[in-house]
Structure 1
Amino acid sequence: MTLVMNRPQDAFGPLLKSWRNRRRLSQLDLALDAGMSQRHLSFLETGRSMPSRYAIRQICEALDMPAAEQDMMLMSAGFAPQSADAAWSADVRHAVEASIEHVLKGHEPFPAVSVDRIWNLQRANETAQRFFAIAGGTGQPNLLREVFAPGALRDNIRNWPEVTRALFRLLDLEVARRPHDEQGQTLLTELKDLPGVAEAIAERPSEHPAPVLSIEFLINGAELNLFSLIATVGMSMDATLDDLRIETLLPADEATREWFCALGR
């Protein structure tokens, strides 16, 4: 993600103001939350003053900004992004990757995958690879494209409209968190243009929806019901780590549990 600018002071102020307006905060409210004077915040927005790295950190925390947007805020003021701090990030990334691998393997004999913020597949446990192949997956690296696009996998999902509506909403919320994420915005538009997707997301949910979304598959005559848990790396200040998601699929009934246990034998 890059930001085009002529001079840092031409970019930071408007970016700060856009995020303050996005959070619906007055200059006084944000100044109090960030621990600075309203006068200083006003000068930062107009470009009369340039922020320190510490001030940017305080403002970003007060605005509850995602790590990638914090990096953009730093770069707009002429600083290196915090994600480029290799002194600690390499060790942390290694520990996180090892932990993700542990979770994926430990979730056998049920499917588990690691994806980024827009559902590009990073890793998958053995069961997930076998299951998606059996279910009609094509190997498309983006799981949302795989599920939304016409094909065998989509045909094998009995409640495809409900699943599509739920997944589209998750992506929409992710894109809303990052107004400068062009990749996410492009994918959102692309998915909506696929056959049947616009109609699916426009449908109203039932009056009494289930407490969790169950993904219902019909594969070779077997009815399989799964629901998902999605985990993230907590309080990450690194944009790459902040992108990571782990989705674990769990059986919603005993028949599904037995089917996967048999698959793993």
Structure 2
Amino acid sequence: MTLLMNRPQDAFGPLLKSWRTRRRLSQLDLALDAGLSQRHLSFLETGRSKPSRYAIRQICEALDMPAAERDIMLMSAGFAPQSAHASWSDDVRDAVTTSIAHVLKGHEPFPAVSIDRIWNLQQANASAERFFAIAGATGDPNLLREIFSPGPLRSNIGNWPEVARALLRLLDLEVARRPHDDAAKALLDDLKDLPGVAAAIADRPKAHPAPVLSIHFTIEGAELRLFSLIATVGMSMDATLDDVRLETLLPADEATRRWFADLSP
């Protein structure tokens, strides 16, 4: 993960006001939720008072901010980010990595991957490696670029415009969730500039969307239907762990289920 920014140390007040506005809270509402006085909160926004680490923690919890954004708030007030104090031991890091690998392996014979917040590939089970190789993936470490870039994989997705709109919506939500994530914003802009993406965005379906988006692949003459489940690490207070996403692809029909069963060695 690249944690953005060397924020100037006088940026806390504007950041606080920005987040409060995003959450549609008055100063009084936020002060009550954070256990602070409205006067103190007002002074923090205007820069008349400097926040303590305790006050920042209370405010971030009241605003339900992602871990990386909490780090940015701390840095904007001149403090070291929380994640810098949460250095992992080798045992803990190995346990997390092993646990993720266990979940991915347990999903076989269907594809499953571990990705970061902007879909950079971290781990993949054997089924995902085999499937994406057959489907025409080029090996780009970013799965969104892989799917959006013209090429065999994109051509093998029969409902690619629908998939592209759904994935862009997910990335849009990630940008909204972490408004200071320059890497996510840059990726979103790059994807929108790729051939065919603007037309896909403009082509709004007239029918009511299905409750779950299925991805329609045509692989070596087989028609496959998959849908995706994305999980995150619950209750994470660390920016690195907060980035982790587990995406599992599941068969949407019996023919797809049998195809993957046959693909398994």
Q: Please give the TM-score of this superposition, normalised by the length of structure 1.
A: 0.95
Contact preservation (8 Å) 1:158, 1:217: yes
CA distance in 2, matches of 1:74, 1:154: 42
CA distance in 2, matches of 1:185, 1:247: 21
> Share of identical aligned residues, percent?
79
CA distance in 2, matches of 1:134, 1:123: 18
Residue of structure 1 in register with 2:160 after alignment: 160
Residue of structure 2 in register with 1:210 after alignment: 210
The runs of 5 or more residues in structure 2 that have no matched partner are: none
Do structure 1's residue 43 and structure 2's residue 43 form an aligned pair? yes
Residue of structure 1 in register with 2:235 after alignment: 235
CA distance in 1, matches of 2:80, 2:234: 23
CA distance in 2, matches of 1:92, 1:176: 31
> Which stretch of structure 1 is more off in the superposition, 199-208 or 71-80?
199-208
Residue of structure 2 in register with 1:107 after alignment: 107
Q: Report how far residue 87 of structure 1 moved.
A: 5.1
Query: Alignment partner of 1:228: what SS?
Result: strand
Deviations 1:134-157 (A, max 9, x none): 000000000000000100000000
CA distance in 2, matches of 1:91, 1:65: 28
TM alignment of 1:87-102, pairs within 5 A: 92-102=92-102
TM alignment of 1:28-177, pairs within 5 A: 28-86=28-86, 92-177=92-177
Q: Report how far residue 91 of structure 1 moved.
A: 5.0
Contact preservation (8 Å) 1:34, 1:62: yes
CA distance in 2, matches of 1:178, 1:202: 26
Residue of structure 2 in register with 1:221 after alignment: 221
Contact preservation (8 Å) 1:3, 1:76: no
Q: Report how far residue 203 of structure 1 moved.
A: 2.1
Relative to structure 1, is the Cα distance of residues 132 and 5 closer, same or farther in structure 2, using a 3 angstrom cutoff?
Answer: closer
Residue of structure 2 in register with 1:3 after alignment: 5
For 2:225, give the aligned amino acid.
Answer: N
The runs of 5 or more residues in structure 1 that have no matched partner are: none
Relative to structure 1, is the Cα distance of residues 242 and 156 closer, same or farther in structure 2, using a 3 angstrom cutoff?
Answer: same
Query: Alignment partner of 2:55: what SS?
Result: helix
Say how many residue pairs are matched.
263
CA distance in 2, matches of 1:2, 1:264: 41
Q: Report how far residue 88 of structure 1 moved.
A: 5.2
Contact preservation (8 Å) 1:236, 1:242: yes
Contact preservation (8 Å) 1:104, 1:124: yes
Query: Alignment partner of 1:139: what SS?
Result: coil
Contact preservation (8 Å) 2:7, 2:72: no
Deviations 1:167-224 (A, max 9, x none): 1100010011111100000000000010111111222234232221110000110001
Residue of structure 2 in register with 1:22 after alignment: 22
Contact preservation (8 Å) 1:226, 1:250: yes
